[in-house]
Amino acid sequence: MLSDGIPYPDVSQALERIESLEEWFDFWAAKGAMYEILGDDALRAGHRVSGGEWLWQAALSFHYAQFMWFHDPVRREEGQRRKVELYNRAAPHLVPAGERVEIAVDDVVLPGFLRLPLGEMPSSGWPCVLLIGGLESTKEESLLFENMCLRRGLATFAFDGPGQGETFFQVKLRPDFERYTSAVVDHLEERAEIDASRLGVLGRSLGGFYALRSAACDSRLGACVAWGFFYDMSDFGSMPEHTQRGFVYVTGREPDEARAYLEDALCLGDVAARLRAPTLLLNGARDPIFPLRQMELVTRALAHAPVETVIEPDGDHCCHNMGQIVRPRMTDWLARTLRVA
């Protein structure tokens, strides 16, 4: 929460005031409503930067209100919709601004946000990183990571794929996420601001799995970072119970059939050997969701890609407990690999 931008005083208040799980949603929804008022007041006063930042803070508060709230789908979906609405209002006022882009894939409208670095654009356009969220992370949550990329001369395109964020309302988790990533690449190839010869992809957690699949299936992605990832669902039974519930939820299926579906849908075995792009694999040794054997499975399967592996001995899932260290390193790696001047 802190690494993604929730203010420390808000976290402290939550720890002090929330006595039961059922109070969690209301606490963070109230925070979101407070930041929304601040943002709207600032915009009316002509303070666009503050207005955009407070509306983003409101969106992030609603994101964490509904975070892992699988037992109450009605309120969870209410939080998702409020988050999307608030971020859409914030995006034009961010620095740099976020441009909402909607890409048609079959009968699905894939939503994403393109952000470009400040300063003079290179003659060939900006290199760009596609950002893929995980089981619970969505495009609205990636702003601070985007800012790290932008400061290093990397444009960003964060989007929600099947089963994620607002796309969940159109299509649930599917085994062919890479088709949706390739549709984003198709769009970026048409953008004059983007150098389509310098595209990379980064995904965290479930998004790390999706990033690996996407880079294996689309050679236009010239760099791949998988962050807190896995090879398959063989460790499903040892995951924390709430994580298991989350995976079941995003399939849109009943629990008794969801596990078999996940085991069939989420495996790199059919595509891993096709990956050729430089790849960075980052996991924490203390990850309670994806044990290190998952990294070993991925590393063995990537037979033809130049791979760099980083295992942080004290890192938890996605090394969220040391985000201030691993996140700059990942963005530096992307900038170097995508040849930022």
Catalytic residue annotation = 136, 205, 287, 317
Q: CB 281: neighbour CB atoms within 10 A?
A: 21
Q: Rounded to an integer, what distance in angstroms lies between the CA atom of residue 182 and that of residue 220?
A: 9
Sign of CA dihedral 156, 157, 160, 165: positive
End-to-end alpha carbon distance in the chain: 32
Query: Whose structure tokens read 């980064």?
Result: 202
In the chain, alpha helices (H): 8-17, 24-44, 48-65, 73-90, 143-151, 177-189, 206-217, 241-251, 255-265, 292-301, 323-337
The CA distances from residue 57 to 87, 124, 156, in Å, are 9, 34, 20
Q: Which two tokens mark 101?
A: 């882009």
Is 207 within 8 Å of 137 (Cβ atoms)? Answer: yes
Strands lying side by side in the sheet with 307-312 = 99-105, 108-115, 155-159, 126-132, 194-204, 221-227, 279-284, 307-312
Q: Rounded to an integer, what distance in angstroms lies between the CA atom of residue 185 and that of residue 208?
A: 17
* Interstrand relation of 221-227 and 307-312 (parallel, antiparallel or unpaired): unpaired
Q: SS3 for 291?
A: coil
Before 162, cis peptide (omega within 30)? Answer: no
Task: Report the Cα 151 to chain-centroid distance in Å.
Answer: 19
